[in-house]
Amino acid sequence: MNVTIVDYNSGNISSVINSFKEVAKDKVNIKVTSDLNKIKLSDKLVLPGQGSFKSCIEALNDIDGIVETLNEFAVTNKKPLLGICVGLQMFADIGYEEIETKGLGWISGKVSKIDNQNGKYKLPHIGWNQINIVKHSKIFENIENDSHMYFVHSYEFIPEDKNVISATTDYSSKIVCAIEKENIFGTQFHPEKSDKIGLQIIHNFINL
């Protein structure tokens, strides 16, 4: 089985690569590439994201054909895909970080700045926070409710269909921190930086 981490210059993804290789050991082939043919031939994809919504979308659009290839993989062929941090946010129709930017449009919704309630809450939301699992998700197998995950973000994904939400976290409001829609999964937190519990999530995705 091939699990491919999409490399599109979204920032330092070494911790994502290392965590997936640690979990996979030698049983699963972990690739890191922006090669369209290798992406198409993969069994599962990981879409990481560091930086702003705008910069990540622009970095994807700079690679000819990659958005169409991702659409074919996730939407047409319905193969498993995991978005991490901004990788999840890009599922939305539109994002409002820096300027209004069109997203991938896989899950209807928007990405807006977290309401810090006039400075009551610091932004970015950074560090460990508990997650509230609101529906059964395949990537939460053997994960206890109220587990702590590691976050770094100032913007939140607000989906129109609340049924796609699999977990929230409390920070000024109930922020969506995990979604599942058929074959498409996403976490606002960083499983690769969330110690053993995060590695369990990576394990669950690899073994879908």
The domain that holds 52 is classified in CATH as 3.40.50.880
Residue 10 has pLDDT above 80, yes or no: no
What pLDDT is recorded for position 117?
93
Identify the band that residue 191 occupies on the pLDDT scale cut at 50, 70 and 90. Answer: very high
Q: Which residue in the list 85, 125, 156, 177 is annotated as catalytic?
A: 85
Euclidean distance between CA atoms 145 and 150, whole angstroms: 15
Q: Which residue in the list 100, 125, 192, 203 is annotated as catalytic?
A: 192
Q: Is 203 one of the catalytic residues?
A: no
Q: Which residue in the list 125, 177, 180, 190 is annotated as catalytic?
A: 190
Residue 202 has pLDDT above 80, yes or no: yes
Q: Which domain holds residue 174?
A: 2-206
Residue 165 has pLDDT above 80, yes or no: yes
- The model's pLDDT over 34-75, given as tens digits with 9 standing for 90+, comes to 999 999 999 999 999 989 999 999 999 999 999 999 999 999
What is the number of structural domains in the chain?
A: 1
**Helices 195-206 & 14-24 angle (0-180, nearest 10):** 70
What pLDDT is recorded for position 3?
98
Q: Is 192 one of the catalytic residues?
A: yes
Identify the band that residue 184 occupies on the pLDDT scale cut at 50, 70 and 90. Answer: very high
What pLDDT is recorded for position 149?
98
Tell me which residue of 90, 85, 99, 111 sits closest to 177, measured CA to CA: 85
By the 10 Å C-beta count (0-12 exposed, 13-18 middle, 19+ buried), 2 is classed as middle
Q: Is 56 one of the catalytic residues?
A: no
Residue 26 has pLDDT above 90, yes or no: no
Identify the band that residue 14 occupies on the pLDDT scale cut at 50, 70 and 90. Answer: very high
